[in-house]
Amino acid sequence: MGLPWARIVTSLREYLESSPLPSVSQISRSTRTPFHILVSTMISLRTKDEVTLAASERLFGAAQTPAEMCSLSEDRVAELIYPAGFYRTKARSIRETSRLLMERHGGDVPAHIDALVALPGVGRKTANLVLGLGFGIEAICVDTHVHRIANRCGWVDSRNPDETERKLEEVLPRRHWIEINELLVAYGQRVCTPTSPRCSSCVIARQCERVGVERSR
């Protein structure tokens, strides 16, 4: 018998109903533009949500399209997204990605994972988030929260995010693939934290094996 996924997802959704969405999810709801979702996801890596939101807003205020992004200097992009983590490296990747979108894809973001991960600064996590939020294509975006919670709960037993993605695809119904990221990211920030998770108030405690949990609240 499989896990009660509908109950798990509903419990998470109801608990987080009044909580702010992760930064890229907020951006995706204000603009369904795949390019904006792609760039904001690149900015979000190792960066707090509030910083990502402000940096993305400043950048998109100056450049809305790949062509406009190419017209900005690398220093200007870096200045606009500062203080995002690794802002200079991200500025270089954003400009180069914009150039390649113009050169290879006619200025459009490709709706295929192989083409996305061929872009600089774009891994499977970013690519899957763009596919899901930008195109509505069923894909599981596995970041540190999804990887941690899926293994902690015992839903999968995996060593890295790529393996977690493959194993979740085997057990998680496709209708939940897009939503699971934003649910677990928000839940991981508030309840299922990396250290000392709030197990006493967890709404999915019955579906959690607490693998590796040595101390909790």
Go through the domains of the chain in sequence order and give each one's CATH number.
Answer: 5-19+140-207 (1.10.1670.10), 31-135 (1.10.340.30)
Encode pLDDT of 147-176 as tens digits.
999 999 999 999 999 999 999 999 999 999
Report residue 172: phi and psi, to 5°: -90, 125
Would you call the peptide bond into 83 cis, given omega within 30 degrees of 0 as the criterion? yes
Which of these is catalytic: 49, 90, 125, 167? 125
- Annotated catalytic, 143? yes
Q: Please enumerate in sequence order all residues whose Cβ is within 8 A of that of 58, keeping only pairs 6 or more positions apart, or say none.
A: 80, 81
pTM of the full predicted structure? 0.93
Which of these is catalytic: 143, 157, 162, 167? 143
Residue 1 has a pLDDT of: 55
- Annotated catalytic, 49? no
- Write the DSSP symbol of residue 170: H
Encode pLDDT of 175-186 as tens digits.
999 999 999 999
Residue 32 has a pLDDT of: 74
